[in-house]
Amino acid sequence: MPFKANASRRHHIPKQRHRIRNWAEYDAGLRARGSLTVWFTPEAVARWRAETRATPGGRRTYSDLAITTALTVRALFRLPLRQTKGLVGSILHLLGVDLAVPDHSTLSRRAKVVRLPVVPRSSTGAIELLVDSTGVKLCGPGEWLVEKHGTQRRRAWRKLHVGLEAVSGRIVAATLTDHNIDDGSQVAPLLDQIEEPLAAFVADGAYHQTGVTAAVAEHTPDAVVIVPPRSTAVPSATAETNPTQRDQHLQAIAEHGRMAWRKASRYNVRALVETSFSRWKRVIGDGLRFRTDDRRTTEIAIAVRILNRMFDLERPDCVRVA
């Protein structure tokens, strides 16, 4: 507990208050997120069966769209694979559609090689990219079992790297790596997933690396890199004659302070990616259910599609109340 003897004389910062201006539309969008018709679309029913192969080999029973739909329902409602088959079969029965239902082994096998349908991007110009990483758990004993019975090894986890578009709030890139992989090394793989040019690249101090700046410049030469320099950073040798973006950040921090630099450079917008991680772990969960890396890659891609679809339904228009 904090010391409260001088609480009345301390400076108290009031909590910010916000108001949602499109509450009716946003409330309808929140209800739609739980509707099965949003996730089990008529297009999926129409294209449920796989197309006939033109090359020699066995024919698949289910299309990639059918497998994607089943895996989406599984991730959204956090079901095991067998229960996923039961739910999908119930939906098809209620729709009055005579279609076969993929069993748990088919879903597991196809998760390794399924090709997700391409979703058109909503952005038409340069985007402001926010990049960060977070940890996700793997299958294993829960916290209660570990505390009660102990464990012989530490519970494994992976690192999820995400690129978020600041204006729309959509996740435009994601990679999954081992927990000891450096954050800066995944900037190039994230940028490879983005076709649009960058207006700005915003990340925290872990991305203060030469390789990160080079990867952004290779993707979009004139993109603004907004990464806070370390406290021990010094200007480059050409800071006086030909200053780099990093030199300009150091000069602004030296003249006006770090807090003023954050506000002037719009670095504070990076908080949106932290909000995205919170949304991910509340909607999808903080762990991965598949047990192999290729299936986990599909699991991550499905989760990205779910969160982006929820954002497309409706997003809140919040304004700060004075």
What is the SS3 string spanning 116-156? CCCCCCCCCCCEEEEEEEEEEECCCCCHHHHHHHCCCCCCC
How would you classify the pairing of strands 127-137 and 198-202? parallel
Res 7 pLDDT > 80: no
Q: Provide the percentage of residues in the chain whose pLDDT is more than 90.
A: 71
Mean pLDDT over the full length of the chain: 89
Domain residue spans of the chain: 23-110, 127-288
Res 54 pLDDT > 80: no
Residue pair 146/288 in contact (Cβ under 8 Å)? The answer is no
* pLDDT band with cut points at 50, 70 and 90 for residue 222: very high
Res 55 pLDDT > 90: no
User: Which has the higher per-residue pLDDT, 266 or 139?
Assistant: 266
User: Which has the higher per-residue pLDDT, 305 or 6?
Assistant: 305
Pair of tokens at residue 215:
């990867």
Q: Looking at mean pLDDT, say which of 2-16, 41-55, 160-174 comes out highest.
A: 160-174
Separation CA 61–CA 84 (nearest Å):
17
* pLDDT band with cut points at 50, 70 and 90 for residue 119: confident
Res 9 pLDDT > 60: yes
Task: Please give the torsion angle defined by the CA atoms of residues 22, 27, 30 and 32, in that order, rounded to the nearest 10 degrees.
Answer: -110
Separation CA 300–CA 298 (nearest Å):
5
Task: Please give the torsion angle defined by the CA atoms of residues 245, 246, 251 and 256, in that order, rounded to the nearest 10 degrees.
Answer: 90
Supply the Cα-derived Rg of the chain in whole angstroms.
24
| Domain 127-288 class in CATH | alpha beta
Res 133 pLDDT > 90: yes
User: Which has the higher per-residue pLDDT, 122 or 214?
Assistant: 214
Q: In this structure, how many other beta carbons lie within 10 angstroms of the beta carbon of residue 306?
A: 19
Q: What is the DSSP string of 194-219?
A: --SPEEEEE--GGG-SHHHHHHHHHH
Res 128 pLDDT > 90: yes
**Through-space distance between the first and last CA atoms of the chain, rounded to whole angstroms:** 30
Pair of tokens at residue 151:
């464990």
Residue pair 79/286 in contact (Cβ under 8 Å)? The answer is no
61: Cβ contacts below 8 Å, ≥ 6 apart:
49, 50, 100, 102, 106
The whole-number pLDDT of residue 59 equals: 79
* pLDDT band with cut points at 50, 70 and 90 for residue 151: low
Average pLDDT over residues 242-255: 92
Note the pLDDT tens digit of each residue in 254-280. Answer: 999 999 999 999 999 999 999 999 999
* pLDDT band with cut points at 50, 70 and 90 for residue 14: confident
The whole-number pLDDT of residue 147 equals: 67
* pLDDT band with cut points at 50, 70 and 90 for residue 49: very high
Res 141 pLDDT > 70: no
Task: Please give the torsion angle defined by the CA atoms of residues 33, 121, 304 and 204, in that order, rounded to the nearest 10 degrees.
Answer: -120
The reported pTM is 0.88
Res 143 pLDDT > 70: no
Res 117 pLDDT > 60: yes
The whole-number pLDDT of residue 12 equals: 77
Separation CA 247–CA 238 (nearest Å):
9
Q: Residue 162: enclosing H or E segment and its boundaries?
A: strand 157-165
Residue pair 265/249 in contact (Cβ under 8 Å)? The answer is yes
